Amino acid sequence: MARNDIPYKIYLTESEMPKYWYNLRADMKNKPAPLLNPGTHQPMTAEELNGVFCDELVRQELDNDTREYPVPQEILDFYKMYRPSPLVRAYCLEKKLNTPAKIYYKFEGNNTSGSHKLNSAIAQAYYAKMQGLKGVTTETGAGQWGTALSMACAYFELDCKVYMVKVSYEQKPFRREVMRVYGASVTPSPSMTTQVGQKILAEHPGTTGSLGCAISEAVETAVGNPGYRYVLGSVLNQVLLHQSVIGMETKIAMDKYDIKPDVIIGCAGGGSNLGGLIAPFMGEKLRGEADYDIVAVEPASCPSLTRGVYAYDFCDTGMVCPLAKMYTLGSDFIPAPNHAGGLRYHGMSPILSQLYDDGMMRAISVPQTRVFEAAEAFARTEGILPAPESSHAICAAIDEAMKCKETGEEKTILFGLTGTGYFDLVAYEKFHNGQMDDYIPTDDELEQFRARLPRI
């Protein structure tokens, strides 16, 4: 029974803050499948990965056993800048919905990068600095990850080279400008600065770029520049490890007030936020200590869990990255041009893919106009302008709460509010002007992409 003295917003005190990241893989009976060398199809070794990623991050990537990783003091110090994030009871939304459900959200948007991405950015920048590197390279689509990494690199005085998908670079000049405030160099991708970029531009001169292509350029730049490594904001095991701080804080806060969530909901693109939020709860579920209804919410226009296949696939367009076994739509799948809600990666984190395949969580997809309706309702009642990505979780949480209204159940619903929508107002404008529709790929279309999966 939850206590009566629960604050509206729960902030942990400094002494209550988690001191370690939780490695979910330690409790998984079926471990996520290893990354494979794209040439030999053999599992990638640490030696092979060390050329691309920082040494310590490679260790974390491959470590399926260590349960707890102490958070380095320098990262704990940085956390003080923006953590703990609040766990908020959505009283106003509950009242508006007139639901007996209790709704909580963990809000990760109160930092300048505007999202949870900073949690892994600061960790990856720290390890790069510790290794004595000059800088890091990365890709960014809408720019949340690039902004977060720029902030983290400014803090450690590391150089930061960001390849930004060209269409976003041109349409989201403000995101680019925030990265420049933090001293990053931002290059529209595809570009002439890499071989893979030159090749893509030669073949498709008018291309507006894609995430998969930007990844290829960033990796090539890291490998070709001494003192640089590549960093990635989602999908990887190491990222979910760093993001476990979201779930750890949430669980400590809920335990403190004897709150037990019945349903845990997160949006899912590459899986960084969902994997982080659910980590300690899923750990209990894996160890048979508790049960939770865990729900991944993805866009109907990019439905990797709900309509993809579980198979080895390329992580990037240039096929320079290792192969990962994941729920995937095929590495050249790109959501329809009118898709505005983010979460557009073709595959899902190998850890989450395995858990989903094992029946430890479920997945649903929602069309984008419903997502923006939920976003607007949330903004008006809870006073936070949510990112479209986060609004997928809001939409599913509202649906759960409305089910409770029908059944009279007093479920406790927890969802992850990953970020703010200050840089997504073009999408909001489309929604307001009735220019947003809900294109959902047909089975035939998806089959075409599936047919091009590597045969392994």
Q: Which residues pair with 136 in a beta bridge?
A: 160, 229
CB of 18 to a second copy, least distance (A): 16
Q: Is 359 in the site for a second copy (CB under 8 A)?
A: no
The single residue among 428, 436, 441, 449 that binds a second copy, judged by CB under 8 A, is 428
Of 75-83, 195-203, 221-229, 305-313, which part binds a second copy (CB under 8 A)? 75-83
Q: Is 16 in the site for a second copy (CB under 8 A)?
A: no
Q: Please tell me the distance from the alpha carbon of residue 61 to that of residue 40, in angstroms, as a whole number.
A: 20
> If we measure between CA atoms, which residue out of 237, 360, 387, 242 comes closest to residue 305?
360
Give the list of residues 6+ apart from residue 359 with CB closer than 8 angstroms, or none: none
Q: Is 391 in the site for a second copy (CB under 8 A)?
A: no
Closer residue to a second copy, CB minimum distance, 143 or 212: 143
HEC string for 188-241: EECCCCCHHHHHHHHHCCCCCCCHHHHHHHHHHHHHHCCCEEECCCCCCHHHHH
> If we measure between CA atoms, which residue out of 210, 154, 144 comes closest to residue 176?
144
Total Cβ atoms within 10 A of residue 156: 18
The single residue among 183, 208, 370, 405 that binds a second copy, judged by CB under 8 A, is 183
Q: Is 155 in the site for a second copy (CB under 8 A)?
A: yes
The single residue among 35, 178, 374, 394 that binds a second copy, judged by CB under 8 A, is 178
Closer residue to a second copy, CB minimum distance, 6 or 278: 6
Q: Is 145 in the site for a second copy (CB under 8 A)?
A: no
What's the one-letter identity of residue 152? A
Pairing of strands 228-230, 135-140: parallel
Q: Please tell me the distance from the alpha carbon of residue 397 to that of residue 416, in angstroms, as a whole number.
A: 10
The single residue among 376, 405, 409, 412 that binds a second copy, judged by CB under 8 A, is 376
Of 109-117, 200-208, 212-220, 437-445, which part binds a second copy (CB under 8 A)? 109-117
Q: Please tell me the distance from the alpha carbon of residue 324 to that of residue 32, in angstroms, as a whole number.
A: 9
The single residue among 42, 425, 447, 452 that binds a second copy, judged by CB under 8 A, is 425
The single residue among 206, 359, 383, 434 that binds a second copy, judged by CB under 8 A, is 383
> If we measure between CA atoms, which residue out of 341, 387, 447 comes closest to residue 105?
387
CB of 231 to a second copy, least distance (A): 18
**Interface positions with a second copy (CB under 8 A):** 7-9, 11, 13-14, 80-82, 91-92, 110-112, 114, 151, 154-155, 173-174, 177-178, 180-183, 376, 379-385, 420, 422-423, 425-426, 428-429, 432
